[in-house]
Structure 1
């Protein structure tokens, strides 16, 4: 099975040649005999058709042109253990570097990172490496694991998972721009490794992943739960994609307080409209237990700082400073407790 242009005859040829080959290897792996993901392989071509053709994003052509501007570069190297992936080359002409910079800036705003791509340092809105440094010490050995990263953004943490030894990482995030940003980085990681890396981003919501695949050793859900109208359903979906005994890594907003307390914002929270339920840690642990997870435990609790999330030259819109009460940064602009994030680990 292949995601070539025969499956998508209505897709602009430039888009087809740039986007569709990126899914070939993933489709082949899913469809292989004995794959736990065969059911997903059966529906994935139709899902891609809907996203990339039927409901093509208005900016898709512009983003594809930005991807096409990124030049081929010889002697590329990278370090997936480095906080910025350290993508470099033995030699890069001034013209090539200008094209790299222009192509990457054509994919702004960049929210999750950072990334060093030759002489371009993408200083993203979030210092996602800080979150990884808090989470990584508590993970099971990633060597050889098949991982699902839900709400993966532009894929920064996916690369760090590969750097820690994961066998294959599949990310899902509905943002089409994140897909383009991920594939910009993937182009140069592939050049450095001499093969397509075992990481794939699909522009979907978690609800688009077939239920009860039981195909992944680890499932990450970081920064998603509070955006779901039913956090219980999200936890059940996560348990359903995990193999028996698989590991859940859940990072979400919490509030201080006792078991049973939950904050539901009147309208916005930190200027975000789509925030529904923010529990206390004890309530969150109860949700995990009630949905069948075992040994749910808190491994990190962190107040988001103005240094971890901020506007930069690569993300020029409002950021955390603008979402807090200017007279009291311990509160959001609406008067709620400022963002406090918990990391929970549990087993299916």
Structure 2
């Protein structure tokens, strides 16, 4: 069974201690299910990663743990081979001892769009809902967050996070493999991020309420999601697929999303960024060799998805609890 005891010990000493009423049983169940199939093999990959010492750690400009000079050529070859066993790598990039994990998404692009608009993270307790393999957790820590928790139930994302954390075992950065539905209303996080999740939820208003339930009074929500153009009544509900994704349910306009947040009791709701997803930000790489954005767009008109819907347009909205 996976060992989360160090995380529990931290919770017992901080303002999230009430989470201990439910979390250990949930993670015990998750661990039992995870120890089957591919996850067992991914754990072997992580166990085989060589011990290293990072002479340099960089989290402000990029996520970099160590330099090429810290390890031998043989170790570099071993690390690269093992990390590639955890493909596809979708969110990043990461630099591990000079090894560039060139992920499908340049998540640093998104971070640079978000960062200028948020309250300072220094000293804050932060939650990232749907954090993937945890790239943004490290960037949040780099901005001085005191305690960073990401949640995402994906077994592969958790294994990838474990692999990256092997090279920088910072106890303040944690990924917990559960979904938001399993979290009690802690109402203690200073900042809650949710980036690229809302459109995957069948009940978007319930999801926004769940995010609100994690924030302390006056806390800040950073919401990044797909949107469409239109007024406060405009919401796209795609057919079976949107950009080849099956699990896309609601894509609201900025005005509609602002209205939803206001109805739920958020204040100071404001749009801070609107960005058309580019082929430079999401693309196929050696670390993610499946289909990517170019395959999801109309071949003759990149303003449309392959199904004929508006191409991905992403908004960042900030609101206060």
Q: 1:151 aligns with which of 106, 110, 130?
A: 130
- Structure 1 residues 266-275 or 127-136, which shifts more? 266-275
Map 1:76-87 onto structure 2 (within 5 A).
Answer: 76-87=55-66
- Structure 1 residues 282-291 or 181-190, which shifts more? 181-190
1:198 aligns with 2:172: yes
Contact 2:65–2:167 (CA<8 Å) still a contact in 1? no
Q: 2:273 aligns with which of 296, 300, 307?
A: 300
Aligned to 1:243: 216
Measure, in 1, the Cα distance between the counterparts of 2:310 and 2:36: 36
1:67 aligns with 2:82: no
Cα deviation for residue 102 of structure 1 reads 1.6
Structure 2 vs 1, CA of residues 202 and 57 (structure 1 numbering), >3 Å: closer, same or farther?
farther
Cα deviation for residue 183 of structure 1 reads 1.3
Aligned to 2:101: 122
SS at match of 2:116: helix
Contact 2:54–2:66 (CA<8 Å) still a contact in 1? no
Measure, in 2, the Cα distance between the counterparts of 1:143 and 1:76: 24
Runs of 4+ in 1 over 4 A off after TM superposition: none
Structure 2 vs 1, CA of residues 242 and 335 (structure 1 numbering), >3 Å: closer, same or farther?
same
Measure, in 2, the Cα distance between the counterparts of 1:72 and 1:55: 25
Map 1:28-177 onto structure 2 (within 5 A).
Answer: 28-32=9-13, 35-88=14-67, 90-177=69-156
Q: TM-score, normalised by structure 2?
A: 0.97
Gaps of 5+ in 1: 1-10, 12-18, 191-195
1:279 aligns with 2:252: yes
SS at match of 1:331: strand
Aligned to 1:343: 316
Measure, in 1, the Cα distance between the counterparts of 2:102 and 2:238: 31
Cα deviation for residue 50 of structure 1 reads 1.1
Contact 2:151–2:177 (CA<8 Å) still a contact in 1? yes
Query: Which deviations, in whole Å up to 9, do the C-alpha atoms of 1:157-213 show, x marking residues without a partner?
Result: 0000000010011000111111111111111123xxxxx330110111111111x21
Aligned to 1:25: 6
SS at match of 2:244: coil
Q: 2:234 aligns with which of 261, 264, 272?
A: 261
Cα deviation for residue 90 of structure 1 reads 4.2
Query: Which deviations, in whole Å up to 9, do the C-alpha atoms of 1:238-270 show, x marking residues without a partner?
Result: 111000000000000000111211000021100
Contact 2:53–2:66 (CA<8 Å) still a contact in 1? no
Structure 2 vs 1, CA of residues 103 and 37 (structure 1 numbering), >3 Å: closer, same or farther?
same
Q: TM-score, normalised by structure 1?
A: 0.89
Cα deviation for residue 56 of structure 1 reads 3.4
Contact 1:110–1:314 (CA<8 Å) still a contact in 2? yes
Aligned length: 321
Aligned to 1:333: 306
Cα deviation for residue 51 of structure 1 reads 0.9
Larger RCO of the pair (alpha carbons < 8 Å, separation 6+): 2
Contact 2:89–2:287 (CA<8 Å) still a contact in 1? yes
Cα deviation for residue 344 of structure 1 reads 0.3
Structural RMSD (CA): 1.3
Contact 2:53–2:167 (CA<8 Å) still a contact in 1? no
